[in-house]
């Protein structure tokens, strides 16, 4: 089974290909401002002058991070007036962008707003299938249904630009998920073993998404379920092992009223099927975390500092309580003032303060 998040990414990228010029221009403007602290300071001054009520930080998209283009555009669009003010005051800004993809125009920002509108639901869908701490196998069928409904609604939205983008997305969608009888059987089985859905819901959605082959799919699934059940039933040792574990668990946790499963074979089938991951985002993110921390702007960090930043990032993400940046601004400022007084031989330690601030800002955006 291919990674669902990758397929969604391909669908989105294919759909916004025509808007790539406008996206590139906004990306160039963000890259210029983020290139130095002085430019960021000037940009923040323009934000205050324009009375823009947003604390989100400008960010660049990266190829290894899903939905990063949407996040970049969503933040940049809030600061449209600040970009225009910066352009009037800084001639180098104009020259730098002109030498590249060009300066974002009114039409570019209008296209960007349409792109944001289209990308937003796909961002939520990607997050839904990319979880690593809960079951996701049943989510793929929900994604197919949601995307189908999105395309159906956008057909009559009246906006020709959005209709054009979503038509191309639908073309790519049909390439991977357009034929119901060619979709991996685990997708269907996971929906059936979801106690909220079961066979009745599955029958309804299959007839909605694939009316021409719905009867064939239902017959195929019925046959597959019987074959799978027979295979699990014939494996007596596996079932006995499962029953033994269940009995032990029942004895240990009797105070919690955990009962022995009424249908041990079906229970084992559900465990195996629902545990199937449909996305490789979690594993790939684990290998790319270091690249996000140690980039071209922080290339002189020592291994100790990189380890501290990665661990702190994990702790922040693991926390169940939302972190409010305003509660920590004074504390961070005091910390930075104290670190600035540290002698030069301890200068490497002081580099920890800025990345920590950036982490809290990133956490606030999330």
DSSP secondary structure of 156-169: TS--HHHHHHHHHH
302 confidence band (pLDDT: 50, 70, 90): confident
Direct distance between the N- and C-terminal alpha carbons of the chain, in angstroms, rounded to an integer? 29
And the tokens for 354? 């800025």
And the tokens for 90? 């800084």
Query: pLDDT tens across 14-31, in order?
Result: 888 888 889 889 999 999
With tokens 């009424």, the residue in question is: 262
* Best CA proximity match to 282, nearest among 5, 58, 2: 5
- What is the distance between the alpha carbons of residues 14 and 252, in angstroms, rounded to a whole number? 54
Count, in order, helices (H) and strands (E) of the chain. 19, 0
Query: pLDDT tens across 227-242, in order?
Result: 988 888 887 555 555 5
Query: pLDDT tens across 124-166, in order?
Result: 888 888 777 778 888 888 888 888 888 888 888 888 888 888 8
Mean pLDDT taken over the chain: 78
298 versus 30: the higher-pLDDT residue is 30
- What is the distance between the alpha carbons of residues 37 and 202, in angstroms, rounded to a whole number? 54
DSSP letters for 278-307: ---HHHHHHHHHHHHHS-TTSTT--HHHHH
Work out the percent of the chain whose per-residue pLDDT is above 90.
5
* Best CA proximity match to 267, nearest among 230, 220, 232: 232
- What is the distance between the alpha carbons of residues 197 and 274, in angstroms, rounded to a whole number? 13
**Sign (positive/negative) of CA torsion 190, 194, 196, 200?**
positive
Quote the pLDDT of residue 356: 42
- What is the distance between the alpha carbons of residues 140 and 112, in angstroms, rounded to a whole number? 28
- What is the distance between the alpha carbons of residues 136 and 190, in angstroms, rounded to a whole number? 9
Do residues 301 and 294 touch, judged by C-beta distance below 8 A?
A: yes
Select, from the ranges 61-70, 170-179, 233-242, 318-327, the one with the highest average predicted confidence (pLDDT).
Answer: 170-179
Do residues 311 and 96 touch, judged by C-beta distance below 8 A?
A: no
Q: What secondary structure letter does DSSP report for 346?
A: G
Quote the pLDDT of residue 143: 86
């Amino acid at each position: 089974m291919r990674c669902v998040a990758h397929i969604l990414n391909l669908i989105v990228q294919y759909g916004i290909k025509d808007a790539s010029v406008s996206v590139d221009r906004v990306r160039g403007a963000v890259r210029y401002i983020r290139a130095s602290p002085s430019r960021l300071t000037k940009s923040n001054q323009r934000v205050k002058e324009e009375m823009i009520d947003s604390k989100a930080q400008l960010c660049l998209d990266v190829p290894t991070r899903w939905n990063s283009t949407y996040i970049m555009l969503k933040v940049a669009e809030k600061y449209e007036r600040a970009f225009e003010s910066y352009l009037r005051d800084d001639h180098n800004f104009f020259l730098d962008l002109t030498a590249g993809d060009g300066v974002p125009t009114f039409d570019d920002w209008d296209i960007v707003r349409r792109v944001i509108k289209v990308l937003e639901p796909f961002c939520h869908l990607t997050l839904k299938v990319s979880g690593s701490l809960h079951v996701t196998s049943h989510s793929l069928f929900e994604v197919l249904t949601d995307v189908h409904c999105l395309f159906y609604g956008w057909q009559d939205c009246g906006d020709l630009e959005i209709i054009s983008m979503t038509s191309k997305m639908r073309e790519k969608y049909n390439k991977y998920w357009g034929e119901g009888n060619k979709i991996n059987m685990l997708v269907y089985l996971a929906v059936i073993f979801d106690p909220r859905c079961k066979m009745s819901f599955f029958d309804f959605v299959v007839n909605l998404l694939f009316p021409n082959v719905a009867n064939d799919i239902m017959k195929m699934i019925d046959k597959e379920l019987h074959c799978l059940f027979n295979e699990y039933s014939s494996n007596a040792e596996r079932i006995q092992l499962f029953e033994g574990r269940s009995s032990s668990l029942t004895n240990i946790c009797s105070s919690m009223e955990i009962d022995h499963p009424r249908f041990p074979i079906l229970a084992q089938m559900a465990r195996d099927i629902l545990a199937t991951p449909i996305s490789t985002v979690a594993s790939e993110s684990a290998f790319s975390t270091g690249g996000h921390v140690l980039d071209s702007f922080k290339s002189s960090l020592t291994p100790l500092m990189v380890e501290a930043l990665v661990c702190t990032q994990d702790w922040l993400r693991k926390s169940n309580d939302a972190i409010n940046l305003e509660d920590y601004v004074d504390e961070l400022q005091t910390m930075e003032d104290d670190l600035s007084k540290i002698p030069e031989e301890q200068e490497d330690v002081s580099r920890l303060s800025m990345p920590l601030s950036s982490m809290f800002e990133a956490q606030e955006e999330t």
